[in-house]
Structure 1
Amino acid sequence: MLPCLNKTVLGVECTGCGGQRAALLLFQGEFKEAFVMYPAIYSLVVLFGFLIINLFIKFKYDYNIKIGLIIFNAVIIAGAYIIKMINTFN
């Protein structure tokens, strides 16, 4: 797997740390472990799935759905990162 440059240089995990491992765990069928590793993995799967489907099928409010899913993912990623940093420094 690719090493995290932020973690290597600064010693602090980035917002994407754990994403590769979570995707690998997801493909291996380790669903709970994937969520524990990177909580946004399932919402990202939904977002990417919607984006791929939307390439072929256009919906009436597809732009609003995309923006909503992106904001939802950003909130989950930021929240998980904040919780991880609080637990790291305590």
Structure 2
Amino acid sequence: MAYLVLKYLQIHWIYTIVIGYFGTAIALYMLSDIHILIPCLWKTITGYECPGCGMTTAFIALLHMQWADAWSANPMIYAIVPVFMCLILRDFWRFRNRQIDSLQNN
């Protein structure tokens, strides 16, 4: 299974880059309060928050199991996290099935 995950991440290298960046940024923020995340371009230009503002804060609150803090940072996190997880798992499942089919055909 680990081989399939590594092969999947090699083929879908953009996932690897995004997961690596956000994983590193969130770990640094949680462990040492170092902020390396890219600021919201919309808020920087206009001064108003976009619908995605607070998502990282909400995700970190979810990692800490602080449900109310996640809701107050951005309630949309409760819809986006399950949707992204389902999409990535579905894509990985299809990749796994293609790999199994190609092994059986050879």
The count of residues paired between Structure 1 and Structure 2 equals 58
Matching of residue 19 in structure 1 with residue 55 in structure 2: yes
Structure 2 unpaired stretches of 5+: 1-36, 95-106
Give the 3 Å change call, closer, same or farther, for CA 57–32 of structure 1 in structure 2. Answer: same
| TM-score, with length taken from structure 1 | 0.55
| Paired position in structure 1 for 2:103 | none
Q: Per-residue deviation at 1:45? A: 1.4
What CA distance in whole angstroms lies between the structure 1 residues aligned with 2:79 and 2:91? Answer: 19
Which has the greater radius of gyration? 2
After superposition, the CA RMSD in angstroms is: 1.6
Give the 3 Å change call, closer, same or farther, for CA 56–9 of structure 1 in structure 2. Answer: closer
| TM-score, with length taken from structure 2 | 0.48
Q: Which runs of 4+ in 1 moved over 3 A?
A: none
Calculate percent identity across the aligned residue pairs.
Answer: 38
Structure 1 unpaired stretches of 5+: 59-90
If asked which structure has higher relative contact order (CA below 8 Å, sep 6+), I would say: 1
Alignment equivalent of 1:36, drawn from 72, 97, 103: 72
